[in-house]
Amino acid sequence: MNAPMTLDGHEVLLAVTGGIACYKAAALASQLTQAGAGVTVAMTDAATRFVTPLTFQSLTGRPVYTSLWESVERYDPQHIALVDRAEAMVIAPATANIIGKMASGIADDLVSTLAMTAMASTRILLAPAMNTNMWNNPVVLSNVARLTELGVDTIGPNEGRLACGTVGAGRMAEPDEIFGAVVALLTE
């Protein structure tokens, strides 16, 4: 790893959406935590079907948030409190669904609400992951371009063999790559 070994005192909000690349998000959470960052994880319902909240809780030592309707440790509205604490929000994997919601201003679950809240005040890094045909869809590419214009950073997707057997663009960037991008966001 070429990045600084310590992220002590930095806070990262890691949002995990529903795609097979969720397992890479677990590795990223571990890497960030081992580097000293405080990592809070929020997951969509679909993400919990790939990797359980317990995995992320064990890796980060913090509660994992999966709903706007959960009780919180403070009186603050959860989506505001989680974003206020974070210096950066990482969405990995970033599915076509969350990218479309963000580009359209839709906030209908915890992760999309956190993203919409964060867009006004917090650096956001998207790590797209989806089937090659979905990635190459003009609507998805337009949504990514719109988010880039609004100041959202992206990393990837990479090319290679996808879980569906297709070979092409759509693989989520590797955890080391995303980690390096997070370090750059937090230290620039």
| pTM (2 d.p.) | 0.92
Domains and CATH numbers, the chain: 11-187 (3.40.50.1950)
d(CA 151, CA 185): 12
Residue 94 has a pLDDT of 98
Catalytic residue selected from 164, 169, 180, 182: 164
DSSP 3-state of 12: strand
Is 22 known to be catalytic?
no
User: Is pLDDT of 5 > 90?
Assistant: no
158-161 and 167-171 strand pairing: antiparallel
pLDDT digits (tens, 9 = 90+) for 96-152: 999 999 999 999 999 999 999 999 999 999 999 999 999 999 999 999 999 999 999
